């Protein structure tokens, strides 16, 4: 019988940014832990251990997505812990952080305990919990930050909402600092944004939709920089979408302010021109994208609600600035903002549709395509944004292949081309703009604590047998 939760992965390109390792070698997993990396891996492997030929593949620490909406409790028609973590595993993710804007909101120790317990039973990847900053995410009164920390949250955020009262935010930062918790913020100034539904600019005017100005994001990023400086607390700005925000963060980081930022693939792949329909997008902002031949460019109608998210898709200039921020390290973290919604909720007029798209199954490929295949970033730098950087921000004992670490391992093929279809999705929701797109780069195997939770091909093979 093969050893349990053990495996020898041979001949892969092993990339572990935390150990500054990037070479073709072997990794030995024994009883759910990394036992050895390098020449000693093979020497130490027992003869019963399962072997995995990783030749031509990248072997790296399990990817971490620190911005996921699992929708439990309260919104399990959209997603559940079981389906959301299955989608994560397919996407190559071994750990995720779930956002607290559930119903009820995750603003008490009891709700944190409920989710952690359910995730242990039903989740296939590690689920870390973010608690709310304010009670009920109402932005009026602080949540019990100390007891949230005791219950195990790794950060606090009112994501989906943004605390408008600067004094309340200051006090949240002061409390969070006492508990060494990072404060993650969805940056949106309500008085500037009001009921904007897409980026304010040429296309919002042309399409007659209410604009969500980039200044509404920049204003809160600037506020957060000032408050991080004042309090010394660690502030993390979520889903950065605008050139102004990137410039503010770059300057603040130069001055040593404890501030960080993340980017999601939709903001550095797409622009607001997508809302005018595919023909307009491919003729303009999408012209150079992914080198698709004319005949294989996906098409969609104008006003498609799968291009509606918050913050919104912005201009080509903003998209370029986000890419530059990722390249120069201003934005150190990649994540999805996986935000599932039911079909019937999205199948309404653009104005009335909820914001958000799913992303766990496409973020690795889209990041590889825009950052690695375009030679903007090396593989190791890209992997760091999915592993070491989020682990550092959240103080997780994850994100590395060092001997003794939990054997959370992702194996992916950066060159594998595939087309994303609803039948390849494990998510309960289908609100992604990327169905039908030819993507390049895919997780081949995802392992959590030595246990394989996803393996490419196994499922299609099983379907074949069932006829
Ligand atoms: Zn958000």
Instruction: For residue 188, report the distance from its CA to the centre of ligand 1, in Å.
Output: 9
Instruction: For residue 215, report the distance from its CA to the centre of ligand 1, in Å.
Output: 16
337 is catalytic: yes
Instruction: For residue 238, report the distance from its CA to the centre of ligand 1, in Å.
Output: 7
CA–CA dist 296, 280 (Å, integer) = 16
Answer whether 78's CB lies under 8 Å from 342's CB. Answer: yes
pTM beyond cutoff 0.75: yes
Query: What is the reported pLDDT for 467?
Result: 27
pLDDT digits (tens, 9 = 90+) for 290-311: 999 888 999 999 999 999 999 9
pLDDT digits (tens, 9 = 90+) for 388-411: 999 999 999 999 999 999 999 999
CA–CA dist 116, 123 (Å, integer) = 9
CB-based burial, 269-303: b 16+ in 10 Å, e otherwise: bbbbbbbbbbebbbeebbeebbeeeeeebbebebb
> 186: which 2 tokens?
């969805």
Answer whether 216's CB lies under 8 Å from 188's CB. Answer: yes
CA–CA dist 272, 262 (Å, integer) = 20
Query: What is the reported pLDDT for 406?
Result: 98
Instruction: For residue 371, report the distance from its CA to the centre of ligand 1, in Å.
Output: 23
CA–CA dist 431, 429 (Å, integer) = 6
List 159, 189, 337, 413, catalytic entry: 337
Query: What is the reported pLDDT for 246?
Result: 98
Query: What is the reported pLDDT for 4?
Result: 86
Q: Within the chain, which residues score under 70 in pLDDT?
A: 1-2, 458-467
Instruction: For residue 344, report the distance from its CA to the centre of ligand 1, in Å.
Output: 22
């Amino acid at each position: 019988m093969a050893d349990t939760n053990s495996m020898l992965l041979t001949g892969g390109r092993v990339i572990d940014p935390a150990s500054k390792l990037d070479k073709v070698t072997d990794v030995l997993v024994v009883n759910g832990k990394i036992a050895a990396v390098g020449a000693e891996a093979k020497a130490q492997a027992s003869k019963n251990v399962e072997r995995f030929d990783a030749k031509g593949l990248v072997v790296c620490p399990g990817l971490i997505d620190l911005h996921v909406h699992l929708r439990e409790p309260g919104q399990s028609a959209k997603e559940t812990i079981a389906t959301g973590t299955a989608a994560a595993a397919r996407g190559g993710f071994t750990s995720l952080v779930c956002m607290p804007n559930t119903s009820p909101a995750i603003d008490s120790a009891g709700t944190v305990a409920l989710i952690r317990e359910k995730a242990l039973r039903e989740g296939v990847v590690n689920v870390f919990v973010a608690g709310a900053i304010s009670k009920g995410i109402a932005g009026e009164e602080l949540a019990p930050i100390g007891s949230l920390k005791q219950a195990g949250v790794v950060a606090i955020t009112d994501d989906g909402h943004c605390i408008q009262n600067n004094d309340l935010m200051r006090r949240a930062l002061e409390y969070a600092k006492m508990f060494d918790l990072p404060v993650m913020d969805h940056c949106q100034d309500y008085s500037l944004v009001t009921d904007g539904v897409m980026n304010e600019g040429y296309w919002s005017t042309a399409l007659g939709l209410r604009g969500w100005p980039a200044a509404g994001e920049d204003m809160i990023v600037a506020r957060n920089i000032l408050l991080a400086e004042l309090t010394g607390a660690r502030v993390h700005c979520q889903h950065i979408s605008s050139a102004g925000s990137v410039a503010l963060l770059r300057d603040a980081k130069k001055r040593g302010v404890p501030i960080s930022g993340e980017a999601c693939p939709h903001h550095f792949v797409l622009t607001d021109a997508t809302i005018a329909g595919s023909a307009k997008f491919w003729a303009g902002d999408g012209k150079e994208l992914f080198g698709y031949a004319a005949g294989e460019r996906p098409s969609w109608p104008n006003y498609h609600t799968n291009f509606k998210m918050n913050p919104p898709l912005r201009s080509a200039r903003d998209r370029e600035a986000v890419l530059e921020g990722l390249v120069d390290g201003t934005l150190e973290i990649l994540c999805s903002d996986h935000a599932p919604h039911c079909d019937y909720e999205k199948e309404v007029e653009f104005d009335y549709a909820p914001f958000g798209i799913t992303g766990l199954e496409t973020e690795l490929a889209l990041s590889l395509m825009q950052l690695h295949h375009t030679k903007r970033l090396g593989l190791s730098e890209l992997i760091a944004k999915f592993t070491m950087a989020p682990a550092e921000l959240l103080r997780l004992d994850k994100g590395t292949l060092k001997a003794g670490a939990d054997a959370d391992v992702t194996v992916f093929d950066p060159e594998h081309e595939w087309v994303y279809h609803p039948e390849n999705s494990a998510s309960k929701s289908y609100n992604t703009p990327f169905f039908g797109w030819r993507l390049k780069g895919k997780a081949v195997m995802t392992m959590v604590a030595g246990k394989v939770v996803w393996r490419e091909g196994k499922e299609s093979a099983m379907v074949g047998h069932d006829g």
